[in-house]
């Protein structure tokens, strides 16, 4: 299959490399000039889209997606598929879907979960929105780049699933970090707390799989001085998208809103930028009730 891949950053590059390693003819473009193993670099987004059976985008935000889509859809052939793996607002996903449909192009919004490690290892989870035909067209590629793909519904449903998931993730990570900081002040050993909570009703992905306490539980960014697996500023972005969506449909999400406030303070006013989102733990340890 001839694939154009636009956005070869920390996530896009290993995803594109996995497609190339599986035998596909992959052409790639990134504004920063980055490349990926086995991928033929070109000088523009339309060059990557020309003649492609499938074009995949992995971009920073909805505005950039809209701009890139407007450029490449004109260059894509009728009957081809556009897969957007970015995490963007639901409205942008639906707008691009409508534009693609008008041009006779299948569209899937398919944000991912699994981080840089999942992208490199081909173990991502894809949350996909679009028609059944569009999902069927994209699924063989999801099977190469990831270990699971879920067709969540019509266009925009993939983004809805992603932001709901990450709203839960942000809030539960904060609660997990708060609990460890409280345990410290109560004189409870972190390992003992993990042993109890990880097998009791407080267990969660944040505790059991991605524990924010160094030396406790499976290896995580906490064991590497909080070098990002998922950066705090990316969590801030996703929590912002969840609250934007909540406002749009008049949903009451007070925990999501508070998580957004805390990550905003952590990233913009404290030292959270450039650290993993689990670095909330040392933040809470250093703080006192005011």
Strands (E), the chain: 2-6, 25-29, 40-41, 54-57, 81-84, 106-109, 112-113, 124-129, 146-153
Catalytic residue, chosen from 2, 162, 185, 237, is: 162
Q: Token match 């933040």: residue?
A: 283
Q: Are 55 and 3 in contact (CB under 8 A)?
A: yes
Q: Are 18 and 123 in contact (CB under 8 A)?
A: no
Residue 131 and residue 226: Cα distance in Å, rounded?
Answer: 39
Residue 139 and residue 19: Cα distance in Å, rounded?
Answer: 13
Mode of pairing for the β-strands spanning 112-113 and 124-129? antiparallel
Which among 94, 33, 104, 32 has a CA at the least distance from the CA of 62?
94
CA 289 to chain centroid, in Å, comes to 33
Active-site residue, 139 included? no
Which among 120, 102, 131, 9 has a CA at the least distance from the CA of 110?
131
Dig out the tokens for 129 from the structure: 């929105």
Residue 119 and residue 166: Cα distance in Å, rounded?
Answer: 17
Residue 250 and residue 261: Cα distance in Å, rounded?
Answer: 19
Q: List C-alpha distances in Å: 223 to 2, 219, 234, 276, 278.
A: 40, 6, 20, 11, 11
Q: Which residues are catalytic?
A: 162
């Amino acid at each position: 299959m001839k694939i154009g891949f636009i956005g070869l950053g920390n996530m896009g590059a290993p995803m594109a490399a996995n497609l190339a390693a599986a035998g596909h003819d992959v052409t790639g473009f990134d504004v920063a000039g980055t490349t990926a193993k086995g991928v033929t670099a070109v000088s523009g987004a339309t060059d990557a889209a020309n003649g492609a059976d499938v074009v995949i985008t992995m971009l920073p935000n909805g505005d950039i997606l809209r701009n890139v889509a407007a450029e490449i859809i004109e260059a894509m052939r009728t009957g081809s598929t556009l897969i957007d793996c970015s995490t963007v607002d639901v409205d942008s996903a639906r707008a691009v879907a409508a534009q693609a449909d008008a041009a006779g192009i299948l569209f899937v919004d398919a944000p991912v979960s699994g981080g840089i490690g999942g992208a490199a290892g081909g173990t991502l989870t894809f949350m996909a929105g679009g028609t059944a035909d569009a999902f069927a067209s994209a699924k063989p590629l999801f099977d190469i780049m990831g270990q699971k793909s879920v067709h969540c519904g019509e266009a925009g449903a993939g983004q809805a699933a992603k932001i709901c998931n990450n709203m839960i993730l942000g809030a539960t990570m904060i609660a997990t970090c708060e609990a460890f900081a409280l345990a410290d002040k109560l004189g409870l050993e972190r390992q003992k707390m993990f042993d109890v909570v990880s097998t009791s009703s407080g267990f969660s992905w944040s505790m059991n799989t991605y524990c924010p306490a160094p030396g406790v539980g499976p290896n995580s960014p906490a064991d590497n001085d909080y070098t990002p697996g998922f950066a705090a500023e990316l969590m801030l972005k996703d929590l912002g998208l969840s609250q934007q969506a909540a406002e749009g449909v008049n949903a009451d999400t007070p925990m999501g809103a508070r998580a957004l406030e805390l990550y905003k303070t952590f990233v913009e006013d404290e030292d959270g930028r450039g650290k993993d989102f689990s670095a909330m733990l040392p933040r809470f340890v250093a703080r006192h009730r005011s």
